[in-house]
Chains A and B, each alone.
Chain A
Amino acid sequence: MTTAKEYNSYGEEIKQTLLLRTSPIAVKMLEKESDIPKEAIRPKRDQGYHLAQCQVFALSRRQGATIAMLKEDQWCWAPLIGYGLVEMPDFCTDGDIYYPHFVESREAAKELAKQFPRLEYGKYIGILSAPLETASFEPDLVLIYSNTAQLRSILLAVKYKEGKLLKSEFDPIDSCIFSVVPVLLDGEYRITIPDPGEYERAMTGEDQTIFSVPRDKMEKLVQGLRHFEEIKLGYTHLDMVMRPDFPQPEFYKMLFKMWGLDVQE
């Protein structure tokens, strides 16, 4: 059983190994009020405002904040449905959530809406997030925001430890759902593209992706990253190879001949 302190040290190690610009995020689903740690901010009660879940993830990874988001704190509809804080409205099950703007066919929209990942209604009262390096709680999953090169190193570590390739499906919308809910339900790693809301409201970089790690796979991931550090194939060891004796412009050749140095023939 991994302790909160061990998760904290994983957070430090991952951040340093991958030179992550922002902290990996410890995420925990809240079953009751007493699960909320004392240090957690509750946006509506403590600050008098509402946030989207992607903004909360951004506050945790950038500003280092511990934030508990209950139903009344939310300002975006998707996490309310996805985390099971409200019942899925008919409007969504009918496919109108996708049709006509995001899915051309009503039938296909209805079919897709059935697959919208959701946690059981009423099971949780909210969601808690904090930087993994300092979180006082044991997470259910960890979110790592990285660039593509950092993700490549993460995937090398996963492949090394699991001996298989990671499969993912991509929905360009609802990243707060797809990065959390399927991971809780099936216990598998997942790659998610930050959605338009994350870009507009939470200022996620254009080069960022989200890698979700179920809690039980955290130790393995860290071990995989360590392995590639040890064999000098980790993130900071992968470098571009430059070309020596590159093509010299004509006036380089003229000068080099004048100085009695080697020139390109």
Chain B
Amino acid sequence: MTTLSEFNRCGEELEGLLMLRTSPLAVKMLESEGDIPDGAIRPKRDRGIHISQCQAFAMSRRQREAVAMLKEDNWCFAPLIAYGLVDKPDDPELQQFVSFPTFERNKYIGIVTAPLKTADFEPDVILIYSNPAQMRGILQPTHFKNEEAHVDSHFFPPSCAYQIVPVVQSGQLMVTLPDIGDYNRALAAEADIALSVPRDMMVKLVEGIKEFDEGEFSYGHSGMYMQHDFPQPELYRMLFKRWGLDVQE
């Protein structure tokens, strides 16, 4: 059983080892108002605004704020359906927009997010936004330990549903592309990709990254190989001959 301080340490270490531009997120589904951490911002009540879930994720990973999103805080339909906060509409013309994994209706009242390194709650899922090379650095150690992780993936909207719901339900890693709303509204970078980690896999994943960190295949220590004695242009050969230096024949 991973403790809160171990999760916080994982967050701190991940940011350092992978030089992440934004904080990995601790994500927890809320069953009751009593689950909401004291310091969490509730957008409508505290700021008089509504935001989408991808914007809440962005506030937590960029501004390092804890954000609790209840039904009334949402400004996008997808997380309301995905997290079971409203009835899924059965209008035939809407089905193409609402066919994605969902939690049981009314099981949760909302979702809270915070930077993993400072969260004061134990997460259900850890959500890491990175570039592909950083993600390789996270996943690759499992390959070198002959413990290749099973990684689910989904590349279509809504990313806020796929980043959370199947991960809680199956306990598997999930790779998603930030969807168009995440790009338009939450300003996810064009090079961003997201990895969702079930809570029980977090410590082992970070241990793997640390174990391989000094090796040349780690994110921090891998470098591109360059060509020495590269083809020299004519000008170079002329000058090098004049100076009595080696030239390419």
A243 to B76, CA, bound (A): 13
Report B70 CB to chain A, min CB distance, Å: 11
- Chain B residues 216-231 with CB under 8 Å of chain A are 216, 221, 223-224, 226-230
Of A26-34, A74-82, A108-116, which stretch is located at the interface?
A74-82
Tell me whether B16 and A49 are in contact (CB under 8 A).
no
With an 8 A cutoff between CB atoms, is B9 at the interface?
Answer: no
Tell me whether B49 and A245 are in contact (CB under 8 A).
yes
A186 to B52, CA, bound (A): 53
- A-chain residues with CB within 8 Å of residue B51 when the two chains form the complex: 242, 244-245
A21 to B224, CA, bound (A): 13
What is the total number of residues of chain B having a CB less than 8 Å from a CB of chain A?
A: 51
- Chain B residues 81-138 with CB under 8 Å of chain A are 86-87, 89, 94, 97
Of A52-60, A163-171, A209-217, A219-227, which stretch is located at the interface?
A52-60
A58 to B226, CA, bound (A): 9
Assuming the A-B contacts A239-B63, A261-B72, are A244 and B224 also in contact, with contact meaning beta carbons closer than 8 angstroms in the complex? no
With an 8 A cutoff between CB atoms, is B203 at the interface?
Answer: no
Of A2-10, A119-127, A187-195, A251-259, which stretch is located at the interface?
A251-259
Tell me whether A262 and B50 are in contact (CB under 8 A).
yes
A144 to B221, CA, bound (A): 17
Tell me whether B62 and A201 are in contact (CB under 8 A).
no
With an 8 A cutoff between CB atoms, is B145 at the interface?
Answer: no
- B-chain residues with CB within 8 Å of residue A77 when the two chains form the complex: 235-236, 239-240
Tell me whether A259 and B239 are in contact (CB under 8 A).
no
Q: Which of B89, B236, B240 contacts A255 (CB 8 A)?
A: B89
- B-chain residues with CB within 8 Å of residue A86 when the two chains form the complex: 243
- Chain A residues 42-85 with CB under 8 Å of chain B are 43-44, 47, 49-52, 55, 58-59, 62-64, 71-72, 74-77, 80
- B-chain residues with CB within 8 Å of residue A240 when the two chains form the complex: 62, 187
Show the binding face of B for A, using Cβ within 8 Å: 16, 19-21, 43-44, 47, 49-52, 55, 58-59, 62-63, 71-72, 74-77, 80, 86-87, 89, 94, 97, 184-187, 216, 221, 223-224, 226-230, 232, 235-236, 238-240, 242-243, 245-246
Enumerate 30 A-B pairs (CB-CB under 8 Å) in ascending A order.
A21-B19, A22-B223, A43-B228, A47-B228, A58-B223, A59-B223, A62-B223, A64-B221, A72-B246, A75-B232, A75-B236, A76-B236, A80-B243, A80-B245, A91-B238, A91-B239, A203-B226, A239-B63, A240-B187, A242-B58, A242-B186, A242-B187, A244-B55, A244-B75, A246-B184, A251-B77, A251-B97, A255-B94, A261-B74, A261-B80
